[in-house]
Structure 1
Amino acid sequence: MHEFSLMADLLRKIEELARRQQAQRVVCVRVRLGALSHISPAHFREHFVHGAAGTCAEGARLEVETSDDPDDPHAQDILLRSIDVA
C-alpha cells in the first residue's frame, strides 16, 4: 500500500502542475527513481498506469530514469522531473 500513497501524491502534483498550465491533459511524465526507492521501473509503471486512470495523466507516456547511487541525497526518493502537457 505504500506505493499507492506515493502514486496518489505524485498524481496530485501532476494534476496541480497541469491545472497551473491550464492544460487539458498530460502527454508525458518524467520521473527519477532513487537507488534506494525500493521500486523497479516496471512496478512503478504498473502503479502509474493504474493510478492515472481517469485523470489528466491517463495515457501519458512515462519516462523513468533510475539512479544507482546510494549516496545521492535523493536516493530514497521518487522525483517528478517534468511533465509535457497539451
Structure 2
Amino acid sequence: MHEMSLLADLFRKIEAIAMSEEARRITKVKLKLGALAHISADHLREHFEEAAKGTAAEGCQLEIETNADTGDPNAQDILLESVEVET
C-alpha cells in the first residue's frame, strides 16, 4: 500500500525528532497534505492513528492542513510541518 510506505517514512522522521529531543511522548504532529497526494485528510488520519499505536505518538493531536494548489511544488507530498513533544 502506498499509504503505508508514506506513513513509515513519516514515522521515521517523527521518531528521530522525538529521540533527538529525548521526548517521553509526542503531543502534537502537524502535517501539510498536498493536493495531489492521492489520500484524503480523513483517510490519512485513520492510517496515522493505526500506525501510531504502541509508539510515542499514540494519542497525540494530529493537525492536517490541506493545500488545494495543484501547481505547488509539494502538491504530491505529505509534509511534516512540526512535532511537539513532552520531555
> TM-score, normalization: structure 2?
0.97
State the partner residue of 1:25. 25
Deviation at 1:74, TM superposition (A): 0.3
Who is 1:81 aligned against? 81
Residue 10 of structure 1 deviates from its aligned partner by: 0.4
Matched, 1:49 2:49: yes
Query: Deviation per CA, 1:2-49, whole angstroms, max 9, x where unpaired?
Result: 101111110111000000001010000000000100110100000000
RMSD of the TM alignment (CA)?
0.5
Report the AA paired with residue 9 of structure 2: D
What residue number does 1:58 align with?
A: 58
Residue 60 of structure 1, CA deviation: 0.5
Give, as a single letter, the amino acid of the residue that structure 2 aligns with 1:64. Answer: I
Percent identity reads 57
Q: Distance in 2 between matches of 1:8 and 1:59?
A: 17
* Ranges in structure 2 where 5+ consecutive residues have no aligned partner: none
TM-score normalized by structure 1? 0.98
Q: Give deviations 1:42-68, integer Å, cap 9, x for gaps.
A: 000000000011111011100000000
4+ runs deviating over 6 angstroms: none
Q: Distance in 1 between matches of 2:8 and 2:54?
A: 13
What is aligned with 1:7? Answer: 7
Give structure 1 stretches of 5+ with no counterpart: none
3-state secondary structure, aligned to 1:36: coil
The size of the alignment, in residue pairs, is 86
Provide the residue aligned with 1:35 in structure 2: 35
